[in-house]
Structure 1
Amino acid sequence: MFKIAFTATLLAFFAPLEAKSETLSQLRGRYVIEASSEIGFLVSQLGGGGVKGSFRRFSGIFNLMPGNTARSSVTFSLEPASVETGQTRVEDFLKSSAVFSAREHPLIRFRSTRVRQDGPDSAIIEGVLTARGITRRETFHAKLAGWQGRNVRFQVTGDILRSPYGMDVGTPIYADRVHFEMTLTGKRK
C-alpha cells in the first residue's frame, strides 16, 4: 500500500514537453514535491466497501528533461506511519507488523529506472519500489495536469500487489491489488 507511484507522475509531464517543445521547454529542471500533493489508495473488499486512505508525510524530487524523456527521473519516499483512513483501529492495524511494519521500516521508497512517453501529455514511469525491506519493479502512469510559473502538477495512477511485499493479510476478502491515485505538485528549485 504505497503511493510512491506519485514520483513516477512527475516524469509523465515530459511527454507533453516533447509534443509542445516551445511552451514545455520551460518545464526543464529539478522539482521538489510539495506537501499540498495528495497520495490516496484503495484496497477493495469482497462484497463491497474496502479500505480507502491516504498518506500525509512524503517527499520526492523529479528531474524533468523536456525533449529527452529518457533522461528524466523521479525519486519518492513516504512514511507509512502517516497513513490516514478516518478509523484509528484500521490505521493502527496498517502501521503494525501485519501490514507496513512502520516502526521497523519507516520509509517506503520509489526510484525510477525508465520514463517513456505514451501520449502527448502522459508517460509511463517504471522503477523500483522498496517496502518492508523488499524491492520490486513497479510501473505508474502519469499525466500532466497543469503548470504555472515554477509549479507543475501531475495525476499519477498505478496498481501494486501487496502480497510480494509480505502484506497479504486478509486476502482474499481484501484484494491483493492496491490502487493508487495521486495528485503530485512540484515546485522548481
Structure 2
Amino acid sequence: MSLRILSAATLIAVGLLGDTASAVALSDAAGRYAISNNGSSIRFAIGKIGGGGLNGAFGQFKGTIRIDGGDIGRSRVDLTIFPDSVGTGQGRVDAFLKSDAVFDVANSRQITFRSTSVQRTGDNSAVITGQLTARGHTFTEKFTAELQGMKGGQISFHVSGKVFRSRYQMDVGTPIYSNIVAFDMQFSGRRG
C-alpha cells in the first residue's frame, strides 16, 4: 500500500515543445518556470489483486522547470514533494502511509526528483530521466511529459510514469497490492 514516489518527479516535461497543434521554437519556451500549486496536481494509484486498489494525491510540492532554448538536453526539472501532505480520503490509510511502514514522515520529510537528462520525443513530448530520492534511497527514474499549453508566460504539462515501491523500501502489502505506483501529474508554471 505504499507509494514509491517519484517525484515527480517528477518530472516535468521540460522537453517542451510547442503548443498542442505545432512545435514552438525553443527560444519561445526558454526560461525558468516555478511550478504553481494552483493548477498543478500529483496523483498516484496502486493496483490490488482482485480489483480496486489505492488512489491518492500529494497536496504540497514545489519545483522548477528550466528550459534551455539552445539545447533541450540541458534543460532541468527539480521537484520536491512533501509526503506529510498525502491524502487518500481515508484518515486511517493516510496515517498508515505517513507511518514508518511507508513514507516515515517523522524522519523523511521530503521526496525529491532532480533531472539528469531531457530527451525530446516529439513536437510536444519528452522523456525526463533523473534521480528520485525517498526515505534515503536514490534511484534513476523516467517520466513522460507532454506539453499541453503555453501562453503569456504560463506553461502546462501532463507528466506520467511508474515507479517500483520496493526500491525505496515501501513495499508493504505486496503482493496483494502492486509493487508499481502509477503517477499522473499535471504541472503549471509561470516564467520568472
Q: TM-score range by the shorter chain?
A: over 0.9
Task: Tell me which residue corresponds to 1:61.
Answer: 64
Task: Tell me which residue corresponds to 2:128.
Answer: 125
1-structure distance, mates of 2:84, 2:24: 41
2-structure distance, mates of 1:81, 1:73: 26
Question: Would the aligned equivalents of 1:7 and 1:60 in 2 still touch at CA under 8 Å?
Answer: no
Residue among 152, 168, 175 paired with 1:165:
168
Task: Tell me which residue corresponds to 1:138.
Answer: 141
Task: Tell me which residue corresponds to 2:101.
Answer: 98
2-structure distance, mates of 1:66, 1:165: 35
Q: What is the identity, as a one-letter code, of the residue corresponding to 1:26?
A: D
Kindly report which structure 2 residues correspond to 1:35-114, keeping only aligned pairs within 5 A, or say none.
Answer: 35-36=37-38, 37-114=40-117
Structure 2 gaps of 5+ residues are none
Residue among 165, 175, 179 paired with 1:176:
179
Deviations 1:104-154 (A, max 9, x none): 000000000000011111000000000000000000000001111111000
Query: TM-score normalised to the size of structure 2?
Result: 0.92
2-structure distance, mates of 1:181, 1:138: 15
Change (3 A) 1:183 1:46: same
> 1:65 deviation in Å?
1.5
Q: What is the identity, as a one-letter code, of the residue corresponding to 1:9?
A: I
Change (3 A) 1:62 1:7: farther
Q: Which moved further from structure 2: 45-54 or 63-72?
A: 63-72
Query: TM-score normalised to the size of structure 1?
Result: 0.94
Residue among 34, 49, 54 paired with 1:32:
34
Q: What is the identity, as a one-letter code, of the residue corresponding to 1:170?
A: G
Question: Would the aligned equivalents of 1:21 and 1:67 in 2 still touch at CA under 8 Å?
Answer: no
1-structure distance, mates of 2:87, 2:10: 20
Instruction: Count matched residues.
Output: 186
Question: Would the aligned equivalents of 1:21 and 1:66 in 2 still touch at CA under 8 Å?
Answer: no
Aligned identity (percent) is 43
> 1:8 deviation in Å?
2.3
Q: Secondary structure at the match of 2:69?
A: coil
More helix by share: 1
